[in-house]
């Protein structure tokens, strides 16, 4: 028997989580993977296109090529190019012969407008970073620490039960004390559960997250409207007519009224407009899907930790409307699941419980570990039968397990 108890003691010691060597603070992710990808694309794309536009400008030199009269000198031709690029106004004649003007300023300010778009797309992330991350960071640290501690407490409780059973001279008395503790709910550690329940009444994080994504949608919509109304109006205007007869040259009769010019980098302008608008349109359903995720509970983590004695939010139907801070915290816990050291072990216990023949007798991790430690075989059979007779047949249970209230 001493070998069996020694083996059980080693098994339970191995099940304990080691104390963390370093702080979890630096390893926590305070941004969901989907939001990080959206931010990378929304901010990185215009910055990449800006670099492309400037590279094109530096490689080609002049951004415009005007067809000056043949009698113009080199300096006069250079002046025409510089003046037409500075003004960037297209002169055309209407049906009545009157001259109308059309400004092409959108083409000229393209790199700077892309910089403004990149800054605007980064503002929602700044809002989340400076308004919500400090509170979220504290919540995640506390909950992750309590999850691991609750798992360790359960294992230590089973270790203590093994020690008590080994030292007990009356097995029947031991099991009576055990069942009394179950009925009095001594095995529960309610701090974590009450904290999570309290987070259901908080809406600080959820409001900040909604505001962040709504601002992102607003900026995407504004960018698309800008591309449609301003870029589309000059999308095919690669050639224009420029007039240099202004100021001191207004009365010069030897100068032509209009000089034809062609934009050198116009193909790059078209490509930038299409890429920017197309990618931003594709980001809209991704952001909307992130918002729709808040309308339902992510119960995968909760279902695994239901085996903890103090974690019965699902079984007791304590979850209310999902639009609250707890739902956001659960999403970030899933994103930081590598920092929850007890999750892998709890997942294994859940999988083993599902394939156990008498899984209806396993309610918590304490029940499962007592079975693995060999305490179930030490329980007197007549006591188990008597306990089974007292229970409701429609709810199979044993006194060894006991149902949680």
Q: What is the pairing mode between strands 99-103 and 239-242?
A: unpaired
Rounded Cα distance between 138 and 284, Å, is 31
pLDDT given at position 400: 32
The contacts of residue 283 (CB under 8 Å, 6+ apart) are 38, 41, 42, 220
The predicted model scores a pTM of 0.79
> Which pLDDT does position 215 carry in this prediction?
96
In order along the chain (405 residues), what is the average pLDDT of each group of 10 residues? 56 62 71 94 93 76 78 83 84 70 84 93 94 92 87 79 69 62 58 84 93 96 92 83 75 76 85 92 95 87 79 68 90 90 85 72 73 57 40 37 37
Q: How far apart are CA 310 and CA 196, in angstroms?
A: 11
Rounded to the nearest angstrom, the gap between the alpha carbon of residue 135 and the centroid of all alpha carbons in its chain is 16
User: What is residue 127's predicted lDDT score, i.e. its pLDDT?
Assistant: 94
Q: Give the pLDDT confidence score for residue 35 in this predicted structure.
A: 94
């Amino acid at each position: 028997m001493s070998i069996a108890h020694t083996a059980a003691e080693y098994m339970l010691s191995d099940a304990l989580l080691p104390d963390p060597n370093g702080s979890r603070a630096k390893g926590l992710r305070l941004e969901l993977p989907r939001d990080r990808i959206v931010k990378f694309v929304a901010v990185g794309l215009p910055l990449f296109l800006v670099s492309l536009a400037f590279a094109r400008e530096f490689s080609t030199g002049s951004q415009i090529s005007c067809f000056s009269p043949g009698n113009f000198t080199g300096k006069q031709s250079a002046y025409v190019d510089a003046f037409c690029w500075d003004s960037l106004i297209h002169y055309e004649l209407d049906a009545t012969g009157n001259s109308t003007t059309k400004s092409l300023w959108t083409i000229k300010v393209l790199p700077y407008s892309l910089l403004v778009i990149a800054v605007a797309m980064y503002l929602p992330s700044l809002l989340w970073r400076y308004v919500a991350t400090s509170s979220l960071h504290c919540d995640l640290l506390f909950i992750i620490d309590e999850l691991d501690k609750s798992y360790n407490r359960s294992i230590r409780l089973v270790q203590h039960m093994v020690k008590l059973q080994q030292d007990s001279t009356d097995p029947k008395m031991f099991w009576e004390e055990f069942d009394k503790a179950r009925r009095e709910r001594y095995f529960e550690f309610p701090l974590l559960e009450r904290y999570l329940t309290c987070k259901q009444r908080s809406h600080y994080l959820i409001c900040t997250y909604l505001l962040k994504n709504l601002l992102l949608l607003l900026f995407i919509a504004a960018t698309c409207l800008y591309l449609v109304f301003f870029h589309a109006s000059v999308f095919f205007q690669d050639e224009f007519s420029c007039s240099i007869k202004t100021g001191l040259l207004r009365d010069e009769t030897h100068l032509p009224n209009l000089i034809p010019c062609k934009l050198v980098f116009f193909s790059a302008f078209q490509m930038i407009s299409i890429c920017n608008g197309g990618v931003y349109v594709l980001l809209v359903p991704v952001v909307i899907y992130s918002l729709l995720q808040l309308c339902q509970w992510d119960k995968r983590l909760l279902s695994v930790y239901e085996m903890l004695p103090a974690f019965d939010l699902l079984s007791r139907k304590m979850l209310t409307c999902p639009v609250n801070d707890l739902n956001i915290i659960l999403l970030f816990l899933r994103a930081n699941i590598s920092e929850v050291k007890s999750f892998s072990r709890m997942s294994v216990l859940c999988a083993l419980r599902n394939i156990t023949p008498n899984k209806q007798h396993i309610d918590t991790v304490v029940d499962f570990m007592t079975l693995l430690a060999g305490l179930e075989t030490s329980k007197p059979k007549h006591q188990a039968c008597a306990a089974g007779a007292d229970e409701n047949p429609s709810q199979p249970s044993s006194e060894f397990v006991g149902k949680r209230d």
